[in-house]
Amino acid sequence: MDKQTVRDIDVAGKRVFLRVDYNVQFAGDEILDDHRLKESLPTLQYLIERGAKVVACSHRGRPGGQVVEELRNAPVAAHLSKLLGQDVKSLTDCVGPEVEAAVAAMQPGEVVLLENVRFYAQEEANDPQFAKQLAALGDVFVSDAFGTAHRAHASVVGVGYYLPAVSGLLMERELNYLGRIATNGDRPLGLVLGGAKVADKIAILKNLVDRAAVVCVGGGIANTFLKAQGIDVGASLVENDRIEDALDIMRLAAMRDDLRLVMPTDVVIADAGGEHVATVSVHRIPPGFRILDLGRQTVEDFREALRPMKTVVWNGPVGFFEREPFDRGSLEVAKILADMVGATTVVGGGETAAAVSRAGVQDRISHVSTGGGASLEMLQGINLPGVEILRDRA
């Protein structure tokens, strides 16, 4: 996927409308995870060093087209100022005369952050007039918001109809890693699939299964696979309408000598109140108990199966990651990938990236994607509208 990047255009003295993904959460004045902000720094620094006037645009949360005080971008601008080492001015709107005046007064190398673009319902509707108003703030459009590239929104796609559109350095890296996996990549390829929704992972499997040598299944989706095998999973979360899909994958694996499907053999379970926790065989789950994590033997099975892989993609936590002690399986999988010296390891966004961060191995993973939904769709072989709008290099 060869798209033009910010390196292919002249930005000196120009107003750059930079779409970033700063959809982050705060606890009071403290940001909970600034990974997305840090990942945007190379593009910002590139533009600043070349004298661009950077008009950054992002959303936060889902305000539904209304102003929500807790979702303003001012605290994001304050934290970005610290990371960048220079002042990032927070504007109180994203369109209108006051915003236009503030942008007109900018000097080369300055950065402003527009207010939450989703305070306008026209953003998610990809309203052409709203997109035109946003585009009026720039001379060129640089998209560095891979996390929203699967959304056909005004600031993601619409602006690209009015301005020359190229990728930022983060977007370029995301497309290089995920695009290589989605098309070919170094083999053998291993997949670690978790999370709760079978439908999402089935789509990834169908797109990549011809190239995969190992598929390790954990998280909520493993419950559906186990039930499809006739195993009583107690009160565990199961998508009964996806059991046939799970059976299809297992039949495919059984037919292929070069595809290994690794399922949980032992699991961590708990009762409804979470008072009684135990590790048991998948064949010994008592009534009323739920599967909430992988057991130690299953983690070792994953480790052994993945060891020969040259490329590994992990999407979705393999347990109830939000609560201890059910985060241990996900933390161990993060360490397994980190220990794979010489292999290309790619982690999908969201909770999976959080597991890598909490395990303290982020710098030992080849690429941690900033886009959960976007990486999911790209691995499914779906064209992303926020990528399609960018200029092709050729």
44 and 190 together in one domain: no
Dist. CA 282–CA 265, nearest whole Å: 6
Q: DSSP string of 124-163?
A: HTT-HHHHHHHHTT-SEEEE--GGGTTS--TTTTGGGGTS
Annotated active-site residue in 19, 36, 242, 290: 36
Burial letters for 209-232: b for 16+ Cβ neighbours within 10 Å, e otherwise? bebbbbbbbbbbbbbbbbbbeebe
Dump pLDDT digits (tens) for 132-186.
999 999 999 999 999 999 999 999 999 999 999 999 999 999 999 888 887 766 7
Q: Which amino acid is it at 278?
A: A
Q: How many domains does the chain have?
A: 2
137 and 194 together in one domain: no
In a domain, 385, yes or no: no
Beta strands (DSSP E) in 201-301 are 212-217, 260-262, 266-270, 277-281, 290-294
pLDDT tens per residue, the chain (394 residues)? 689 999 999 999 999 999 999 999 998 889 988 989 999 999 999 999 999 999 999 999 999 999 999 999 999 999 999 999 999 999 999 999 999 999 999 999 999 999 999 999 999 999 999 999 999 999 999 999 999 999 999 999 999 999 999 999 999 999 998 888 877 667 899 999 998 888 777 788 777 877 889 999 999 999 999 999 999 999 999 999 999 989 988 888 888 888 999 999 999 999 998 889 999 999 999 999 999 999 999 999 999 999 999 999 999 999 999 899 999 999 999 999 999 999 999 998 678 988 999 999 999 999 998 887 888 788 878 899 999 999 999 7
Dump pLDDT digits (tens) for 88-113.
999 999 999 999 999 999 999 999 99
- 3-state class of 109 per DSSP? coil
**Residue 65's domain is classified under what CATH number?**
3.40.50.1260
Annotated active-site residue in 51, 109, 179, 373: 373
* 180 flagged as catalytic: no
* 53 flagged as catalytic: no
166 and 212 together in one domain: no
- Please answer whether residues 44 and 54 qualify as being in contact, where contact means their C-beta atoms are separated by less than 8 angstroms: yes
Q: How far is CA 310 from CA 184, 231, 315, in A?
A: 12, 33, 17
In a domain, 384, yes or no: no
Q: How far is CA 389 from CA 114, 269, 294, 331, in A?
A: 22, 46, 41, 37
Dump pLDDT digits (tens) for 330-352.
999 999 999 999 999 999 867 89
Annotated active-site residue in 197, 211, 260, 335: 197
User: Has this prediction a pTM greater than 0.75?
Assistant: yes
Dist. CA 172–CA 181, nearest whole Å: 14
* 197 flagged as catalytic: yes
Q: How far is CA 43 from the centre of its chain?
A: 18
Q: Which structural domain range is residue 13 located in?
A: 6-170
Tokens 């109809």 belong to: 161
Annotated active-site residue in 219, 234, 329, 350: 350
DSSP annotation of 119: G
Q: Six-digit token pair at 348?
A: 């999908």
Dist. CA 328–CA 321, nearest whole Å: 8
* 373 flagged as catalytic: yes
Q: Which of 379, 341, 44, 388 shows the shortest CA–CA distance to 208?
A: 379
In a domain, 335, yes or no: yes
Judging by DSSP bridges, how do beta strands 277-281 and 266-270 pair with one another? Answer: antiparallel
Q: How far is CA 50 from the centre of its chain?
A: 29
74 and 208 together in one domain: no
Looking at 118, 147, 170, the residue that finishes a domain is: 170
Dist. CA 125–CA 65, nearest whole Å: 10
199 and 164 together in one domain: no
